[in-house]
Structure 1
Amino acid sequence: MPIGKLFTLIGIALTVIGLVLTYLPGLFAWFGKLPGDIRIEDGKKFIFIPITSMIVISLLLTLLANLFFRK
C-alpha cells in the first residue's frame, strides 16, 4: 500500500475516533473502570494502572491486525 493511502486511512480513522469521543462520550465510559484496573487515591496523590483495559485493547488490536494483515 502506498504511503499516501496509508496516511489517508490513518487520518480518516483518527477523525472518526475523534468524532465518536466528542459526540458519544458515554460510549466508552466503561473504559478504565473494569475489574483489574488499579486506582489508588490518597490525599493529593492519584495512581491509575489500567491493566485490564490495556489487555482488552491489546486483544482487539491483535484481532484487527490478524484480520487485515494475514496472508
Structure 2
Amino acid sequence: MIRWMLVIFVAVIVFSSALPWLEKLGLGRLPGDLRFTLFGRKFSLPFASTILLSTVLFLLVRLL
C-alpha cells in the first residue's frame, strides 16, 4: 500500500513538472479537459488527457 502511494506521489510530481511541455504538444487542451478560473486562480481538470496518457502507457508496458 505504501509503495503504491509513493509511486503515485512521484508520478504526480513528474507529470506536474512536465505539464508545460505537455501543453505544447496539445495535452491539457483536449475536448474532455476542463479549465476554469475561480477567485482569480486558474484550475485545470485534464480528464481526457489523463485517459489518453493512461492508454498510451498501458500499451507501452503491454508491448514491452
TM-score by length of 2: 0.58
**Counterpart amino acid of residue 54 in structure 1:** T
Aligned to 2:27: 31
Q: Relative contact order, CA 8 A, sep 6+: which one is greater? A: 2
Q: Structure 2, unaligned stretches of length 5 or more? A: 1-20
The 4+ residue runs of structure 1 with deviation greater than 3 A are none
Indicate the structure (1 or 2) with the bigger Cα radius of gyration. Answer: 1
1:61 aligns with 2:61: no
How far has the Cα of 1:43 moved from its partner?
5.0
Aligned-pair identity in percent equals 33
TM-score by length of 1: 0.53
**Counterpart amino acid of residue 33 in structure 1:** R
Q: Structure 1, unaligned stretches of length 5 or more? A: 1-20
Deviations 1:14-70 (A, max 9, x none): xxxxxxx5xxx85x1x111000101012451211010000100000000000000xx
RMSD: 1.9
More strand as a share of residues: 2
